[in-house]
C-alpha cells in the first residue's frame, strides 16, 4: 500500500480515491491509535469535526463522525469552518482529536481528511504511519474491538464554534482596522462567513467576493490561486488592500491598492518587522522553506533578521518553530503561522495582522511590502511522472548541475515532488525572467523524459 498521508493529510478525488469507507476506517483507526498512545487515558474522549463547503464534505463528515462515535469517541460537530478554526477549537475545548474535511486549494471534486492531536497540532508522522498500519490490518479482516451500550460515542452540534473563533481572532489583534477599506475573496470556501465577520468587527469597511459557497464552486476561478478578480475589485472599489483565502482558509495572499500581488514571502517580511518592533519575534528569527524567494532572504539579512529554511510544507515549518521556540514562519504560498495565536497556518488571522500593520503605520501595503524585492521565480508543474525518482535520476541530476552552472550566484534551481498531487515541481530563480523561463522549460522536458 502506498502511503495514504501526504504532507497535508489524506487527499484524493472524493468518492473515488477518498471514499466513505476509507474516511470511516481511518477515523476508527485514529481513535484506536490515540487510545494506544495514552491520549484518552482516564477520561471519555472527545473529537471536534469540521469541514469546508464541498458537497462531498457532507457524506465524508457523516462517515468520520460515524467512525469516531463507533470507536467510543464523543463528537462535537462544528460544521463549515476554516481549518485553523477546527485546530483552534480542538485546543480551546480540550478535545483529544480534531478532524478537518477539506482539500484546501484543490478543485471541487477533491477532498481530504486532516487529523489534529490534542492542543490543535498536526499529528506526528509516526502517529500517521501507525494509523495507516492499523487501518490496513483491520481493512483486511482483523475485527475491531467495538464498545456497546453507553460506551458508544455521542454526537453534538457545537454551534458556538463560529463566535468563539471570531472572538479569538479579534482578541489577538494588536490594533483595530478603523479607516481601512478591505476587499476579501473567500474562494467560496470555509471562511465565507468567518472572515468578513472578523474584519467587520475589527473596524474595517469590508467588500466581499467569492463568499457564496454552494458546495460546487469552491476555488472556482477565485481565491488565493486566482487573484484576477481580487485585483480588479480592489481597484474598482478604491480599497486599501485585498485579502484572498483558499478553500479551507489556512492561507492568505494579498493585493495592494494598485492591484499588485503581495505574496507569502512579502507578508512574512512585513509581519517579521512588525513583530520585532513589538518585541514578539523570538530569536530574531523567521522560518521559511526552501521555496522562499531569494529576495526574502536578502531582505531579512539586510534587516538583521535570521531566516531558517525547512522542507516545503507548513508542517515542517511548524516543526522547526516548535523545536526552536520561534514565533513566526510560513510559505510563499501564503501559509503563515503566528505560533503565539495559532497552531497552524491561519489565513484570516494573517490577513487581519497584515491589515493591522497598514492601519498602525499609516503606510500603504505596497510601501510596507517594498521591504523586499522579489527575484523572478518560474515554477513549472510536470504531471504524470514517477515523482518518487526525482532525487535518484542521474539524467536529471546532470541537467540540474548544468542549470546551476549557467545561473551562477544570481539564481538557483529546486526540483521536488508534490506532497499532495502526482507532480514534480520545477522551480528556477534568476535575476532575468527570460533566463529563468528558458531553464525551467528545459528542466521540465528532462523531468518528462527521465521520469515519464
Point out the domain boundary residue: 332, 349, 369. 369
Q: Are residues 266 and 393 in the same domain?
A: no
What percent of the chain is predicted at pLDDT more than 90? 81
> 384: Cβ–Cβ under 8 A, 6 or more apart, which residues?
422, 452
Tell me the average pLDDT of the chain.
94
- The residue annotated as part of the active site, out of 27, 104, 292, 333, is 104
If asked whether residues 39 and 147 sit together in one domain, one would say: yes
**Do residues 253 and 324 share a domain?**
yes
Number of domains in the chain: 3
Domain of 286, CATH number, reads 3.40.120.10
* 104 carries a ligand binding annotation: yes
Q: Are residues 337 and 311 in the same domain?
A: yes
**174 and 52 share a domain?**
no
Which of 36-40, 177-181, 237-241, 334-338 comes out lowest in average pLDDT?
36-40
Q: Which residue has the higher pLDDT, 329 or 42?
A: 329
pLDDT exceeds 90 at position 29: yes
CA atoms within 13 A on the CB side of 421: 14
Residues 251 and 323 in one domain: yes
pLDDT at 418: 81
Average the pLDDT over each of 264-278, 279-293, 421-435 and give the range with the smallest value.
Answer: 421-435
Looking at the structure, do residues 361 and 249 belong to the same domain, yes or no?
A: yes
Domain C-terminal end among 159, 174, 204: 159
The CATH number of residue 401's host domain is 3.30.310.50
Neighbouring C-beta atoms of residue 442, cutoff 10 Å: 16
C-alpha cell at 199: 474584519
pLDDT tens digits for 285-308?
999 998 899 889 989 999 999 999
Q: For residue 2, is pLDDT > 70?
A: no
Q: Does 246 count as an annotated binding residue?
A: yes
Q: Specify whether 72 is located in the same domain as 196.
A: no
Q: Identify the three-state secondary structure at position 114.
A: strand
**Domain end residue (candidates: 127, 159, 191):** 159
169 shares a domain with 150: no
Q: What kind and span of H or E run contains 169? A: helix 161-171
Q: Distance (Å, rounded) from C-alpha 353 to C-alpha 267? A: 10
For cell 463566535, what's the residue?
163
* 250 marked as binding residue: yes
Give the pLDDT confidence of 93-143 residue by residue, as tens digits.
Answer: 999 999 999 999 999 999 999 999 999 998 888 999 999 999 999 888 788
Are 256 and 140 contained in the same domain? no
Indicate whether 338 and 225 sit together in one domain: yes
pLDDT at 444: 92
* Residues of the chain by 3-state class (helix, strand, coil), percent to 5: 40, 20, 35
**pLDDT at 213 > cutoff 70:** yes
Question: Is residue 1's pLDDT more than 60?
Answer: no
SS3 346: coil
Answer whether residue 150 shows pLDDT above 50. yes
Same domain, 126 and 274: no
Domain extent at residue 408: 377-451
How large is the average pLDDT for residues 397-420? 86
> What digits encode the pLDDT tens for the residues 336-357?
999 999 999 999 999 999 999 9
Report the pLDDT value the prediction gives residue 58, as an integer from 0 to 100. 98
- Beta strands 241-245 and 5-6: pairing type? unpaired
| Higher per-residue confidence, 349 vs 315 | 349
Enumerate residues 6+ apart whose C-beta is below 8 A from 277: none
Query: What are 164-208's pLDDT values in tens digits?
Result: 999 999 999 999 999 999 999 999 999 999 999 999 999 999 999
Whether 409 is a known active-site residue: answer: no
C-alpha cell at 20: 466513505
110 is in an annotated binding site: no
Amino acid at each position: 500500500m502506498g502511503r495514504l498521508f501526504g504532507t497535508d493529510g489524506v487527499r484524493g478525488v472524493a468518492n473515488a480515491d477518498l471514499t466513505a469507507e476509507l474516511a470511516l476506517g481511518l477515523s476508527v483507526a485514529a481513535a484506536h491509535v490515540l487510545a494506544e498512545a495514552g491520549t484518552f487515558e482516564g477520561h471519555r474522549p472527545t473529537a471536534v469535526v469540521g469541514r469546508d463547503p464541498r458537497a462531498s464534505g457532507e457524506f465524508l463528515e457523516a462517515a468520520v463522525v460515524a467512525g469516531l462515535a463507533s470507536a467510543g469517541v464523543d463528537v462535537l460537530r462544528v460544521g463549515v469552518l476554516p481549518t485553523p478554526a477546527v485546530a483552534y477549537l480542538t485546543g480551546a475545548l480540550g478535545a483529544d482529536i480534531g478532524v478537518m474535511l477539506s482539500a484546501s486549494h484543490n478543485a471541487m471534486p477533491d477532498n481530504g481528511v486532516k487529523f489534529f492531536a490534542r492542543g490543535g497540532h498536526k499529528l506526528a508522522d509516526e502517529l500517521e504511519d501507525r494509523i495507516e498500519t492499523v487501518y490496513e490490518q483491520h481493512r483486511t479482516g482483523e475485527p475491531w474491538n467495538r464498545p456497546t451500550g453507553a460506551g458508544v460515542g455521542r454526537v453534538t452540534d457545537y454551534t458556538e464554534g463560529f463566535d468563539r473563533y471570531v472572538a479569538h481572532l479579534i482578541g489577538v489583534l494588536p490594533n483595530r482596522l478603523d479607516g481601512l477599506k478591505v476587499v476579501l475573496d473567500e474562494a467560496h470556501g470555509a471562511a465565507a462567513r468567518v472572515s468578513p465577520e472578523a474584519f467587520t468587527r475589527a473596524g474595517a469597511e469590508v467588500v466581499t467576493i467569492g463568499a457564496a459557497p454552494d458546495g460546487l464552486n469552491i476555488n472556482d476561478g477565485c481565491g488565493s490561486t486566482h487573484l484576477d478578480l481580487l485585483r480588479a475589485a480592489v481597484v474598482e472599489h478604491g480599497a486599501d488592500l485585498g485579502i484572498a483565502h483558499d478553500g479551507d482558509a489556512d492561507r492568505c495572499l494579498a493585493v495592494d491598492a494598485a492591484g499588485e500581488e503581495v505574496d507569502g514571502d512579502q507578508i512574512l517580511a512585513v509581519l517579521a518587522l512588525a513583530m520585532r518592533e513589538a518585541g514578539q519575534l523570538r530569536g530574531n528569527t523567521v522560518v521559511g522553506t526552501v521555496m522562499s524567494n531569494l529576495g526574502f532572504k536578502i531582505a531579512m539579512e539586510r534587516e538583521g533578521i535570521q531566516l531558517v529554511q525547512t522542507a516545503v510544507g507548513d508542517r515542517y515549518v511548524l516543526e522547526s518553530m516548535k523545536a526552536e521556540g520561534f514565533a513566526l514562519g510560513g510559505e510563499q504560498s501564503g501559509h503563515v503561522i503566528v505560533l503565539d495565536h495559532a497552531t497552524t497556518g491561519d489565513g484570516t488571522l494573517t490577513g487581519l495582522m497584515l491589515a493591522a500593520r497598514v492601519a498602525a503605520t499609516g503606510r500603504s501595503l505596497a510601501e510596507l511590502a517594498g521591504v523586499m524585492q522579489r527575484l523572478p521565480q518560474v515554477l513549472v508543474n510536470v504531471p504524470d511522472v514517477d515523482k518518487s525518482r526525482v532525487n535518484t535520476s542521474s539524467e536529471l541530476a546532470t541537467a540540474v548541475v548544468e542549470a546551476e552552472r549557467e545561473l551562477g550566484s544570481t539564481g538557483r534551481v529546486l526540483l521536488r515532488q508534490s506532497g499532495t498531487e502526482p507532480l514534480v515541481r520545477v522551480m528556477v530563480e534568476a535575476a532575468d525572467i527570460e533566463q529563468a523561463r528558458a531553464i525551467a522549460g528545459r528542466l521540465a522536458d528532462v523531468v518528462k523524459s527521465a521520469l515519464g
